[in-house]
Amino acid sequence: ISRWLRNVILTELFIPITLLIVGIYHGLMQTVYRAGLIHQSSFAGLDYYQGLTLHGVINALVLTTFFAVAFGHATVAYFLKVEPRKQPTKISMWLMIAGTAMASWAMFAGKADVLYTFYPPLKAHPLFYLGLAVMIVGSWIPLFDWIGLLKSWRASHVGEKVPLAVWGTVINFIIWFTCTLSVAYEVLFMLLPWSLGWKATVNVALARTLFWFFGHALVYFWLLPAYVMYYSFLPKLAGGKLYSDLVGRITFAIFLIFSIPVGVHHQFSDPSIEPNTKLTQSLLTFGVALPSFLTAFTMFATLEYAGRKNGGKGLFGWIGRLPFFDSSRYLFSYFICGLILFIFGGFTGIVNASYELNAVVHNTAFLPGHFHMTVAGPVILAMLGMSVHLVSQLKGKKIFAPALNTIVPYLWMIGVFIFSAGLMWGGLQGEPRRTNLGLSYLNPKSDLFHPQWVPDTLLTLCGGFIMFLAAVFFFIVFFGTFFRKQTQQADQLEFPVSEALHDEKIIPLFNDLRPWVILMILIILIAYIPAILDVFRFAGPGAPPHLPGSPVPGL
């Protein structure tokens, strides 16, 4: 791999993982506020909502986007054996860095306490919106380059299947490009002019709908790099083969058609959208769960095959033969912990998606319980594990503290289970999310004090602390590896690529993205035209004035 591409990938990993230190610190602080350990609206000079914004934006928007681009470059270069073009790749990197710098300035200066969903009437400094838009545009550029590379690859490899990892990566960025069009519109034509004072108000219902057109597909943009690793690398690491190559292709294709037209399931409680539209998107949400069920089946079959090949006997004996604590195959530990967490992350997602059940959990602590078992489960674990792998390969460094590295994912997984159990227990008792409980419900001096929420918030705190500890160990491994002496050849790029047990014959439909893209556009139109018409029909009076000092807009 060339030096310049290596440097791009390393920069795109180093910057967000350094920022993650801030993101993780604010995660821990959230559990501290929630448990009522402190009864104040800010700590160490940072406001509660400023901290929550930094946590959500850094962890869920910045880290994930930088990683997906860096890993995408590595995957395409490795599997297609051609590198992306230098100029666009560097422009993309600099745009992402510049955008992150702008948005970070606004957040650290306390001028963007709008959370990672930046719903109006919360209003941020224009640089926050501009920064996000610039970062997104930066992340679009590689897709067009990769599509060009894929086209030439296909022309010179007639009759061959597109490598599964590239199929998944390109699909992921098509989803990303399509869904970010709506948020780019929201930011550039609604929020930015409003924040600059050029527009008096915005259509809140439209802004929320445009955000969620993007927002749910966003979660699959986070997930798909992990799925690429599960399908392409996990079987080999486990000592076996991928159960079926075709299922992998079908999985990614279904994500392409169903990831976007489901965003309204975040708006079941919005009065501006009619129930029929909500029910349609609730049903479509079950469609987007399908590829994860397929993945669960395939991964179980793959792991069973590997376990048996490793000498495992009996109904469950194969489980014990998987390389859970093999420090030379530490990626297996990161992947398996993510998969185990995702069983629960997935099932809670299905609870959320069920139109009527959603009324019980919406805006409660159940939600962060759900999504820390998804984005802070399979997603972050795959990203962290792969970042260590890439740094070690590209810089020619041995892993620092390999035993610690193997333990990190298990510690993180235990932490997430305890943390999410606390949040979901609280959520089912009506405990709200995004609320500084230490000021009110968890403050014995307040009239609102809810003593029944003490045990679950303490459980959340314990889990959060274990996650924090695991993250500290991860930073030791990552930066230890990054800065230690080089002992191996640098600029290497090797992946543990798996063979397929059932390597089905080439099926043209699963080797060509065009029909899937057309189907995607059709389903989006069917699902979203009614939603967009609704938000114009029931637009309401527009965003009330934003008064940062008052929690109630307009008062």
Total residues binding ligand HEM (CB under 6 A): 25
216 among known catalytic residues: yes
370 among known catalytic residues: yes
329 among known catalytic residues: no
CB–CB of 249/232 below 8 Å? no
How many CB atoms are closer than 10 A to CB 23?
A: 21
Nearer to ligand HEM, 123 or 433 (CB): 433
* Positive/negative CA dihedral, 330, 64, 71, 501: positive
**Which residues, including other chains, have CB under 8 Å from residue 346's CB and lie 6 or more apart?**
289, 292, 296, 374
For the bound state, the minimum distance from the C-beta of residue 168 to ligand HEM, rounded and expressed in Å, comes to 20
Options 139-147, 157-165, 356-364, 431-439: segment touching ligand HEM (CB under 6 A): 431-439
**Which residues, including other chains, have CB under 8 Å from residue 552's CB and lie 6 or more apart?**
none
For the bound state, the minimum distance from the C-beta of residue 379 to ligand HAS, rounded and expressed in Å, comes to 5
DSSP annotation string for 503-543: -PPP-GGGT-SHHHHHHHHHHHHHHHHHHHHHHHHT-TT-P
220 among known catalytic residues: yes
Nearer to ligand HAS, 11 or 354 (CB): 354
Site for ligand HAS in 285-304 (CB under 6 A): 285, 288-289, 292-293, 295-296, 299-300, 303
Q: Which of 34, 125, 249, 370 is catalytic?
A: 370
> What is the Cα–Cα distance from 551 to 64, expressed in whole angstroms?
30
> What is the Cα–Cα distance from 15 to 476, expressed in whole angstroms?
16
**Interface mask toward ligand HAS for 63-102; x: CB under 6 A:** ----------------------------------------
CB–CB of 30/433 below 8 Å? no
Instruction: Please identify which residue in 284, 467, 477, 543 interacts with ligand HEM, judged by CB under 6 A.
Output: 467
For the bound state, the minimum distance from the C-beta of residue 476 to ligand HEM, rounded and expressed in Å, comes to 15
Helix (H) or strand (E) holding 42: strand 42-43
**Which residues, including other chains, have CB under 8 Å from residue 397's CB and lie 6 or more apart?**
391, 481, 482, 484, 485, 486, 487, 488
484 among known catalytic residues: no
SS3 of 455, please?
helix
CB-based burial of residue 487 (10 Å sphere; 0-12 exposed, 13-18 middle, 19+ buried)?
exposed
> Which amino acid is it at 174?
I
Instruction: Please identify which residue in 9, 13, 27, 104 interacts with ligand HEM, judged by CB under 6 A.
Output: 27
**Which residues, including other chains, have CB under 8 Å from residue 25's CB and lie 6 or more apart?**
none
If contact means CB under 5 to 8 A according to the sort of partner, which of ligand HEM, ligand HAS, none does residue 55 touch?
ligand HEM
Packing angle, helices 63-80 and 86-108, rounded to 10: 170
How many CB atoms are closer than 10 A to CB 58?
A: 25
SS3 of 434, please?
coil
Residue 349 in the binding site for ligand HAS (CB under 6 A)? yes
Instruction: Please identify which residue in 59, 259, 405, 481 interacts with ligand HEM, judged by CB under 6 A.
Output: 59
Residue 387's Cα: distance from chain center in Å?
15
Q: Which of 34, 55, 73, 216 is catalytic?
A: 216
SS3 of 243, please?
strand
Nearer to ligand HEM, 52 or 306 (CB): 52
Residue 15 in the binding site for ligand HEM (CB under 6 A)? no
If contact means CB under 5 to 8 A according to the sort of partner, which of ligand HAS, ligand HEM, none does residue 265 touch?
ligand HAS
Options 277-285, 428-436, 439-447, 530-538: segment touching ligand HEM (CB under 6 A): 428-436
Site for ligand HAS in 354-393 (CB under 6 A): 358, 362, 367, 370-371, 374-375, 379
For the bound state, the minimum distance from the C-beta of residue 349 to ligand HAS, rounded and expressed in Å, comes to 3
> What is the Cα–Cα distance from 277 to 258, expressed in whole angstroms?
15
Q: Which of 308, 362, 434, 484 is catalytic?
A: 434
For the bound state, the minimum distance from the C-beta of residue 374 to ligand HEM, rounded and expressed in Å, comes to 9
Residue 123 in the binding site for ligand HEM (CB under 6 A)? no
Q: Which of 34, 321, 329, 433 is catalytic?
A: 433
Nearer to ligand HEM, 52 or 226 (CB): 52
Residue 58 in the binding site for ligand HEM (CB under 6 A)? no
> What is the Cα–Cα distance from 79 to 69, expressed in whole angstroms?
15
CB–CB of 271/325 below 8 Å? no
> Which amino acid is it at 22?
V
Tokens 């069009």 -> residue:
181
Residue 111 in the binding site for ligand HEM (CB under 6 A)? no
Helix (H) or strand (E) holding 107: helix 86-108
Instruction: Please identify which residue in 174, 340, 466, 471 interacts with ligand HAS, judged by CB under 6 A.
Output: 340
For the bound state, the minimum distance from the C-beta of residue 250 to ligand HAS, rounded and expressed in Å, comes to 14
If contact means CB under 5 to 8 A according to the sort of partner, which of ligand HAS, ligand HEM, none does residue 242 touch?
none
If contact means CB under 5 to 8 A according to the sort of partner, which of ligand HEM, ligand HAS, none does residue 288 touch?
ligand HAS
CB–CB of 210/218 below 8 Å? no
Options 244-252, 303-311, 368-376, 545-553: segment touching ligand HEM (CB under 6 A): 368-376
CB-based burial of residue 328 (10 Å sphere; 0-12 exposed, 13-18 middle, 19+ buried)?
exposed
**Interface mask toward ligand HAS for 99-128; x: CB under 6 A:** ------------------x-----------
Residue 48 in the binding site for ligand HEM (CB under 6 A)? no
Cis status, amide bond into 121, omega within 30 of 0: yes
Beta pairing partners, 74: none
Provide the token pair at 258: 């169903």
Helix (H) or strand (E) holding 205: helix 204-232
389 among known catalytic residues: no
308 among known catalytic residues: no
Residues that bind ligand HAS (CB under 6 A): 117, 219, 222-223, 265-266, 285, 288-289, 292-293, 295-296, 299-300, 303, 319, 336, 339-340, 342-343, 346, 349-350, 352-353, 358, 362, 367, 370-371, 374-375, 379
Residues that bind ligand HEM (CB under 6 A): 24, 27-28, 30-31, 34, 52, 55-56, 59-60, 115-116, 368, 372, 375-376, 380, 433-435, 464, 467-468, 471
List, by residue number, the catalytic residues.
216, 220, 370-372, 433-434
